[in-house]
Amino acid sequence: MKAFIPLLCLIALPLWAQDAPEGWAVYPTQKPYAELVDATKAAIKENGLIVVTQAGPTKAAAARGISIPGNRVIGAFNNDYAVRVLETSVHAMIEAPIRFYVTENKDGTSNLSYKTPSFVFAPYVSEGGQNLMDIAAELDSTFQSIAERAVK
C-alpha cells in the first residue's frame, strides 16, 4: 500500500498543474507549509537572489480568530537584475520582485507556484525587446532551480 501512495501523487501532479492559470509553474509537494516556506527562502538565497518582500494573510487572520490554510507570497529579485531590466524597460520594473506563492493544502501538504519570468515580462517586450526577453529567460532558469531545490 505504501508504494501505491507515491504513484497516486504522481498521477495527481499533472491534474493539479492543469488547473493553474497560463504562464504558471506549479510544484505540488509532500512538505508541510512552514517547511516549504523556509526551503523556498533558502533556495532563493542559494541561487543568488534575495527575498525582497513577504506577505500572507494567515497570521493576520489567526489574530482575528479566523483559521485559513497557510498562504505566503515571497518576492525575489536582486539589484543586478533590477539595473538590467531598467536598461531595457522602465515599465517592466513594476513587475519586480517576481513572486513565489506557497500554499497549504487541506491534507497538510503544500504547493510552490510562480508565474514564469518570461510570462511576467512578456507584455513589455515591445519596449524591452530581445534584451528583456533574454533577462527573463535567465530568470526562468533561476526560478526553476529555486523551485526544484525548495521542493526536494
Amino acid at 113: S
d(CA 120, CA 21): 13
Domain residue ranges of the chain, discontinuous segments joined by +: 4-151
Q: Which H helix or E strand runs over 141?
A: helix 125-151
Per-residue pLDDT of the chain (152 residues; tens, 9 = 90+): 444 333 334 333 444 455 889 999 999 999 999 999 999 999 999 999 999 999 999 999 999 999 999 999 999 999 999 999 999 999 999 999 999 999 999 999 999 999 999 999 999 999 999 999 999 999 999 999 999 999 99
What's the whole-model pTM score? 0.86
- What are 77's three cell numbers? 529579485
Overall CATH class of domain 4-151: alpha beta
Q: What is the residue whose three cell numbers read 517547511? A: 35
Can you spell out the DSSP letters for 2-47? TTHHHHHHHHHHHHHHHTSPTTEEEEEESS-HHHHHHHHHHHHHHT
- What are 45's three cell numbers? 538565497
Three-class SS state of 98: strand
